[in-house]
A and B are shown apart, each in its own frame.
Chain A
Amino acid sequence: MLLQCVRMEQKKLRHSYLWLVFLVIPVIPAVMGGGNYLQNIGILEAEWYSLWTQCSLFYSNFFYAPLIALYCAYIWRIEHLNHNWNQLMTMPIPIKDVFLAKLCLALLCTIALQGWLWVLFVITGKVVGLTGMPPLKIFSWILRGSIGGMGIAALQLVLSMIIRSFAVPIALALLGSIIGLLINNGGLGLFWPYALMLMGMNANQTEDMVGSVIGYWGSAGVFLLVFTIMGIWWLGKKDVVAS
């Protein structure tokens, strides 16, 4: 049933401009990061690692969360319009599958986005004249960032489900990211979901920002689980408002 729901959700997203947004926006940090790297090549001496700081800093700090928020807001927007809530809630589908199907898409989107960032990073490296392939460590940071990003995706999915506006959850994601930056500087990043992407991606650091690997995975897992349960609970208990 869940697989069927995922397919149904995919159908709803067909012919939207979402793919274009996710294709174009990550190109900007790659291009600008590459440009910045070339301008400061005298100071940035760690080659692929230096380029990584330039490409990933702003993406993971400020832009991943609003991007995934855009995706989540769109997934729910369809239900918020044209009395679709009534139709959705009266379908013979378990409530949890409705939420999980949307969550699966958001998680897949996170992985695809991170993959696209990796491709862009490699291309940028080649364009700025770096030799060989990027160290595997950077690839592991991308994967780790994806795990951190999943908690954010689940939270945004819950917010977009509750808040009927398309724009507000996206604004909240931006606010959350910036608060995440401040919290992370205070050493409390593991307790704030929006800080996990920044930590996982090890943006702008040569030393690993994740002090405790268990703590990081635990935190990411707990956030993902808590927000998923919260979303399913909300969907099952609260009455829908359809307009």
Chain B
Amino acid sequence: MQREWRTEWIKVRYRKVGLLLMAFLMLIFLWVSWALSRNTKEEMADGYRMIFLQLPMIHTILAPTMLAMLASRLCDAEVKGDTLKLLCTLEHKGRLFDMKLLMGACYLALFVFAEVGILFIQGAIYHFQRPLEPVQILFFVLQIYLVSFAIFLLQVVLSFFFENQILPLAIGLLGSFVGLFSWFFANGIGKLVLIWAYYSQLCFVAFDWEKETRVITYYNKPFDVFSFALLIVFLVAGYVIGKSLFLRKEI
């Protein structure tokens, strides 16, 4: 197990995966800073909730393509290098799949951890009056991490399955589109079926906009436990199906 784990890291050496994720992180930081700088001091009082609404929306646009890129990059050694046949005679085929997921999970964990850091940095810069509730951080991490991981799982399966990487990347783009528009549609069965819509589905902050005064008021809404449970079901089912597809794949 340890040997396979080390091998995976050797495969991505010099591939600058972390650098690209850093670029996305920097962009998120800039985007949030830009969005916050457009608000008045009064509006900034509730800055944390503002960020808790902005970050998932930014994720909806960026993450599907970023995760498609990450999955494609992690699977490059096997797909582009055409080394699956060789690797699967040296190590357990299922374990290779697990290692890819584990690596993605590690990158994602660091990414989400850095995003929580962005939250604190913005708080320190702008001195939001309304304090940060610890439970909000928990909801935020669950929302961003699990949805992103589910998308990553889908992308890994696609990247392994299609030698031509157009399709996985195109599905990543499609996911960004679908996810983005899901923010504007009412809750319904469609939103529960589309994995990219879960960023909006699990959002725990909402807002009211008064047309006359143009004032936005943010408020907490209950964390959608049903959607969360459904996401876990999708994750487990996705893992079982994805792994069995990979195991059956002819190499």
Chain A interface residues toward B at CB < 8 A:
16-18, 21, 24-25, 28-29, 32, 35-36, 39, 58, 62-63, 66-67, 70, 73-74, 77, 81, 165-168, 170-171, 174-175, 178-179, 182, 185
Contacts and interface: CB of A to CB of B under 8 A. Distances in A.
Interface residues of B, number: 33
Could you say which of A32, A39, A170, A185 has the most chain B C-beta atoms within 10 Å of its C-beta?
A: A170
A63 B173 contact: yes
Interface stretch (B66-74, B118-126, B227-235, B240-248): B66-74
Interface of B: 15, 20, 23-24, 27, 30-31, 34, 61-62, 65-66, 68-69, 72-73, 76, 80, 164-167, 169-170, 173-174, 176-178, 180-181, 184-185
A128 B154 CA distance: 34
A166 B70 CA distance: 11
Contacts of B166: 16-18, 21, 70, 74
A67 B176 CA distance: 12
A58 B177 contact: yes
6 contacts: A58-B181, A74-B166, A166-B169, A170-B173, A171-B65, A174-B66
A149 to B, nearest CB: 16
A182 B177 contact: no
A168 B61 CA distance: 16
B61 A166 contact: no
A169 to B, nearest CB: 10
B73 A165 contact: yes
B6 to A, nearest CB: 23
A231 B24 CA distance: 26
Binding site secondary structure of chain B: helix
Contact of B173 (A35, A67, A77): A67
Contacts of A178: 27, 31, 61-62
Given A16-B166, A175-B24, A170 B176 contact: no
Could you say which of B15, B170, B180 has the most chain A C-beta atoms within 10 Å of its C-beta?
A: B170
A24 B170 CA distance: 10
A113 to B, nearest CB: 13
Contacts of A36: 181, 184
Nearest to A33: B181
Could you say which of A21, A36, A165, A182 has the most chain B C-beta atoms within 10 Å of its C-beta?
A: A165
Contacts of B65: 66, 170-171, 174
B20 A28 contact: no
Contacts of A32: 177, 181, 184
Contact of A39 (B167, B177, B184): B184
Contacts of B31: 178, 182
Contacts of B164: 16-17
B69 A70 contact: no
B69 A171 contact: yes
B177 A167 contact: no
Nearest to B62: A174
B1 to A, nearest CB: 28
